[in-house]
Amino acid sequence: MTRFTRRTFVAACMAVAGSTLPPLTQAAEAIKIGLVAALSGQSALAGEAITRGLTVAIDEINAKGGLLGGRKLVLVSRDDESNPAKGVIAARELIHKEKVAVIFGGNETPVSMAIVPLVNQAKMPFMNPWAAGTGITRNGAKPNYVFRVSAVDELVDKAMVQYAQKTFKSTKPGMILVNNPWGESNAKGLGAALAEKGLKAAGIEKFEGSDVDVVPQLNRLKAAGADTLLLVGNVGPAAQVVKSLDRMGWKVPIVSHWGPAGGRFTELGGPNAKNVHFVQTYSFFGNQSPVSERVIKELKAKYPSIKGPDDINAAVGVANAYDGMQLVAHAITQKGSIAADAIREGLEGIDRHEGLIKTYVKPFSPTVHDALSENDYVWAQFIGERILPVGMAK
């Protein structure tokens, strides 16, 4: 007779359980969507906006039954604190520990640029809903797993020069740029855009993200005869430029990249922050599409502080992230898989998608991974705490 020990009893119970309980089906497993963004610090509003856009899109998808036969989506977020090294650590954790299907990035180009080699090496789809550095998507990788629903420096730079000429009759603009990879990206783009117009910058000045006084650089641009400033910097640094101009008493038009839109710019920059005109990819003001009306309704229901368009902070983060998530879902559905190559090929093969920002027609291809063009940009300014299209100020 076989001796019935505690060990054999446990083994027998496990065998019975294994034979009687149904296995977990793939349909019950959540599909993890990763996010690496600034969720604290001066750019926290940008991270919050991206989170809200993703959350509304994920809620919509889940309410319709999820993807791949009922698999719900779940957002797994990590705070990069606007630090490239921390962004890489966060992305590595999402890839290897959390096993996410795709990663969304934040608003900081240096962070995204640091993550790009990692995701391409790991074959992890990376959707960028804000950071505009040209090299993020145009990174030379084949195949390339990095996509973007956002502005692109090279195109924004052309738009900035055109806007300065048209709006302020500028013939001798000066560049004032943050001294990091994002600033470098725009220095090249702005120089090329000016050359196309037969113009040359009055000067190129750079400042550190931690600088609290930019007067010396601005004085050099003023002495060189700059009639407009082309500004590139995120919330805090851009605010220091405006405050430095106030101290100088120099009233000069400012045409900016969209950095000021990512946080507490009016609070940090003071009353003249309203004079900065900056690019956006979307505005919830004006005539809205049925998709936009639905998203506004869902934002109001999800976030009680949102009563209307006035309360949708950093609207580009919301809109870009929402469309980016919906495009990823479209790709997954189209290919019937969350395998990395399937998502990449699915994104490259999208034929048409009714989005929030626009109707996307073949937004991506194997060689083009940017869904938006210069034709999708609008110009805006702060009126109080509101970001309004230029000309809509009341």
Phi first, then psi: give them for residue 108, nearest 5 degrees: -95, 115
Q: 263 pLDDT band (50/70/90 cuts)?
A: low
Please tell me the class of the 154-280 domain: alpha beta
- Tell me if 53 sits within 8 A of 321, measured CB to CB: yes
Q: What's residue 14's pLDDT? A: 46
Q: Which helix (H) or strand (E) holds 344?
A: helix 340-348
pLDDT tens column, 110-147 = 999 999 999 999 999 999 999 999 999 999 999 999 99
Q: What's residue 324's pLDDT? A: 98
Tell me if 26-151+287-373 shares its fold with 154-280: yes
Domain extent listing, the chain? 26-151+287-373, 154-280
Architecture of domain 26-151+287-373: 3-Layer(aba) Sandwich (3.40)
Q: With 70 as the cut, is the pLDDT of residue 163 above it?
A: yes
Q: Which of 28-32, 42-46, 183-187 has the lowest mean pLDDT?
A: 42-46
| Residue 331 structure tokens | 């790709």
Q: Which helix (H) or strand (E) holds 353?
A: strand 352-354
Q: Which of 85-89, 211-215, 222-226 has the lowest mean pLDDT?
A: 211-215
Place of tokens 């479209």: 330
Q: With 70 as the cut, is the pLDDT of residue 383 above it?
A: yes
Q: What's residue 260's pLDDT? A: 87
